[in-house]
């Protein structure tokens, strides 16, 4: 059983790779799955004790099939694919695929893909740390509507993660 101290230490280490940290070479599907799992395995799909299958090739193929992400080029996935998949696998814990597709579209309408992705990562990490420390965001007044939506999106993930890790896991 995780103690609250262990959970807080784990959360302090939460990090999503920024655009510049994503591989500069295109990856095959197996490599994509491994990369996503290495960053997300401790933070998503807490309901499944067997964390080996929380990200599968068939899931990613379905996202391509349903136009949630663009098709790979020569069976390889680039940085844009990877960024989208990090967002999708994080948000699918709370939102429908259709909602995620709309949120991604909103983000890239207002900013370049790399800036939108980096902003998502920063806001998500900040939200998780604030949620687990019991603090709250200050100053909502200077945000654009898109920034306010992003903040609420990441807070919904952070709140779910907090309840799962602190209450549901420690009270089993």
From the CB of residue 166, how many other CB atoms can be counted at a distance below 10 Å? Answer: 17
Amino acid 45: pLDDT: 61
Amino acid 171: pLDDT: 56
Residues listed for the chain:
172
Amino acid 165: pLDDT: 82
Amino acid 93: pLDDT: 86
Q: Which residue shows structure tokens 């391509």?
A: 64
Helix (H, G, I), strand (E, B) or coil at 124: helix
Contact 50, 60 (CB under 8 A): no
Amino acid 46: pLDDT: 52
Query: Closest Cα to residue 102, out of 138, 141, 64, 150?
Result: 150
From the CB of residue 115, how many other CB atoms can be counted at a distance below 10 Å? Answer: 13
Determine the Cα–Cα distance for residues 51 and 46; give it in Å rounded to an integer.
8
Please state the domain count of the chain.
Answer: 1
Q: Which long-range contacts (CB under 8 A, 24 or more apart) does 33-40 make?
A: 33/57, 33/60, 35/82, 36/85, 36/86, 36/89, 39/15, 39/86, 40/86, 40/89, 40/90
Angle of helix 79-91 relative to helix 97-110, nearest 10 degrees, comes to 130
- Domain limits at 59? 4-168
For each of the chain's 172 residues, which pLDDT tens digit applies?
Answer: 456 667 777 777 889 999 999 999 999 999 999 999 999 987 876 554 544 557 899 999 999 999 999 999 999 999 999 999 999 999 998 999 999 999 999 999 989 999 999 999 999 999 999 988 888 777 767 888 898 999 999 999 999 998 888 877 655 5
């Amino acid at each position: 059983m995780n103690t609250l101290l262990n959970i807080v230490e784990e959360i302090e280490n939460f990090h999503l790779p920024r655009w510049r940290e994503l591989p500069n070479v295109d990856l095959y599907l197996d490599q994509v799955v491994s990369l996503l799992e290495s960053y997300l395995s401790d933070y998503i799909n807490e309901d499944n004790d067997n964390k080996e299958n929380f990200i599968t090739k068939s899931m990613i193929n379905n996202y391509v099939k349903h136009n949630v992400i663009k098709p790979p080029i020569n069976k390889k996935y680039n940085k844009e694919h990877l960024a989208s998949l990090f967002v999708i696998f994080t948000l699918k814990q709370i939102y429908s695929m259709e909602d995620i597709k709309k949120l991604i579209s909103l983000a890239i309408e207002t900013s370049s893909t790399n800036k939108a992705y980096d902003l998502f990562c920063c806001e998500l990490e900040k939200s998780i740390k604030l949620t687990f420390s019991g603090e709250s965001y200050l100053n909502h007044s200077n945000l654009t509507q898109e920034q306010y939506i992003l903040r609420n999106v990441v807070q919904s993930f952070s709140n779910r993660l907090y309840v799962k890790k602190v209450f549901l896991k420690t009270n089993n």
